[in-house]
Amino acid sequence: MKGRRTIRGGRVVARNSLYMASVSAIQWNLDLKALYERLQKAGKPFKVAITAVMRKLLILANTLLKEGRVWSATLP
């Protein structure tokens, strides 16, 4: 495939919510900000880097729900 890829699958509301949460997270969460900056330095476009942050945020939320924990900046 040549050109840019697009994401059209999934739930639009959930995807938009994750996008906005990720934009906020790269400003305020040090771990996710470090991930985003590492990808930017590697030459990844904004959409690729923010999608990686979205995925990381989703995995983090899923893990916290599964383990019944509350998020904290430090490890328990």
Q: What is the pLDDT of residues 14-71, one digit of tens each?
A: 889 999 999 999 999 999 999 999 999 999 999 999 999 999 999 999 999 999 998 8
* pLDDT confidence of residue 10: 78
Q: How confident is the model at residue 1 (pLDDT cuts 50, 70, 90)?
A: low
| CA gyration radius, the chain | 14
| Its pTM surpasses 0.85 | no
* pLDDT confidence of residue 49: 96
* pLDDT confidence of residue 24: 95
Residue 56 makes CB contacts below 8 A (sequence gap 6+) with 32, 35
* pLDDT confidence of residue 73: 75
